[in-house]
Amino acid sequence: MNFETFNFHPSVMAGVRALGYVTPTPIQLQSIPPAMQGRDVLGLAQTGTGKTAAFALPILHRLQQGKRGILRALVVSPTRELAEQTCEAFSTLGRATGLRAVSIYGGVGKDQQIRKLRAGAEIAVGCPGRLLDHIWQGDMDLSHLEVLVIDEADRMFDMGFLPDIKNILQCILQPKQTLLFSATMPDDIRRLVKEILQNPVTVQIGHTAPVATVSHALYPVKQHLKTALLMELLYQTKTDSVLVFARTKHRVERLSEQLHKAGHRVASLQGNLSQQRRQSALERFRSGDVKILVATDIAARGIDVSGISHVINYDIPESVDAYTHRIGRTGRVDETGEAFTFVTGEDNTLVRDIEKVLKKPLERRTLQGFDYEVPSSAKEIRHSSPMILKAKFRRQGIGKKYRFDMSRSS
């Protein structure tokens, strides 16, 4: 099965070729045909399955016919990063179509967004809050909307966007087609689906289990040894790009600073950073300028960086779903990846839940040569901790000198 079978407009096919897609992914195989027939689609697919193209391609194909210079498709996304990425996917896949896409989210000025809307963008991809701003201020005309996509609906519920979404829906005079994507199906989503989708085709790709191309392992460790363990793990493991998740903004900043001081090329991504700094962190990670990105969960969705070899949960995520989404950042489509999760005694319940979803026990690993018994009173989390310094100097190839100096000073 290849993309020719869908009979896309030649200019849409040009986009498929430009991105080098050869074989449709399962979600694409199942949702593109009904979407092209104008049916409503409920797509239950986890991240990294190719779901963006599953809705973008039929939309581009549809908009290829009909009037230009008016807004005809709207995609609602939970995060700025995802909105930006989806907009980019439309622009790349649709390059030969001449259709224009605009991204709409807060944290950046409105003027450029308004200019693009007025210039006649046919596709808008945005986050609920800023979309409503534009709609209520009359900058966005939804009266010609043909297709509405609600992407990562479960995530939007988690983030408390339900009222905003309902407000947006009220401003839309029944679009001709609605596509809703969600990795999970909690009751709230089920109710929304009933209200807004008409006789939808349901496409389910796997359950909420993480992508199969990822191998998982747990590293039991005491809380105070996590940083040292991470350093040692980075030293001992052959990695390409590494995405590290920590629980809070503060922990992200502290950890990335410690990694930086230990000689790693690292950037951080968390909600307190300006949009520009977030964008720049992502760009540096994407381009390979930095090999490690330390992030809070805002990055778990929406980051589409190919070649992430390792996801390391410095802190275990809050739920099984959050685990799935984090892990979905590696092993995307045909790639394979490894997911390491640091666990303390307090994480046992969640570990059992994750294992239930995976339907198998997770491998527990210990890192050879790592001292798991350093007491917390040793304050080894400081940058000057012997273990962290050891990692730093080893990276710089001066391990021997370090040991020599230490023995002299002690």
Interface with ligand AMP (CB under 6 A): 19, 21, 23-25, 28, 47-53, 304, 306, 332-333
Smallest distance, Å, CB 45 to ligand AMP?
Answer: 7
Count of alpha carbons within 13 angstroms of residue 285, beta-carbon side: 27
Residue 245, phi then psi, degrees to nearest 5 = -105, 130
CB 152, min distance to ligand AMP, A: 10
Shorter beta-carbon distance to ligand AMP: residue 82 or 244: 82
Q: Which is nearer to ligand AMP, 15 or 48 (CB)?
A: 48
Largest CA distance in the chain: 79
Alpha carbons within 13 A on the beta-carbon side of 399: 8
CA 166 to chain centre: 24
**Is the separation of the CB atoms in 69 and 83 below 8 Å?**
no
Between residues 49 and 324, which has the closer beta carbon with respect to ligand AMP? 49
Residue 156 or 230 having the CB closest to ligand AMP:
156
Min separation Cβ 356 and ligand AMP, Å: 24
Nearer to ligand AMP, 333 or 398 (CB): 333
Look at residue 376 and give its three-state secondary structure: helix
Question: Who's near 214: CB < 8 A, 6+ residues apart?
Answer: 311, 327, 330, 331, 336, 337, 338, 339
Integer Cα distance of 367 and 142 in angstroms: 56
Long-range Cβ contact pairs of 116-120 (< 8 A, separation 24 or more):
117/71, 120/68, 120/69, 120/70
Comparing CB distances to ligand AMP, the nearer of 231 and 282 is 282
Q: Decide whether 211 or 262 has the Cβ nearer to ligand AMP.
A: 211
C-alpha span between 73 and 76 (Å, rounded): 10
Measured between alpha carbons, how far is 204 from 193 in angstroms, rounded to an integer? 14
Q: Min. distance of Cβ 353 from ligand AMP in angstroms?
A: 24
CB-nearer residue toward ligand AMP: 53 or 327: 53
Q: How far is the CB of 382 from ligand AMP (least distance, A)?
A: 39
User: Cβ closer to ligand AMP: 28 or 227?
Assistant: 28
Pairing of the two strands 363-364 and 123-126:
unpaired
Picking from 343, 389, 392, the residue whose alpha carbon sits closest to that of residue 366 is 343
Q: Could you tell me the smallest distance in angstroms from the CB atom of residue 328 to ligand AMP?
A: 8
Q: How far apart, in whole angstroms, are the C-alpha atoms of residue 157 and residue 107?
A: 21
Buried b (16+ CB within 10 A) or exposed e, 195-229: ebbeebbebebeebebbeebebebbbbeebbbbbb
CB of 305 to ligand AMP, least distance (A): 8
Q: How far is the CB of 196 from ligand AMP (least distance, A)?
A: 22
Residue 371: CA count within 13 A, CB half-sphere: 11
Shortest spacing between CB 338 and ligand AMP, in angstroms: 18
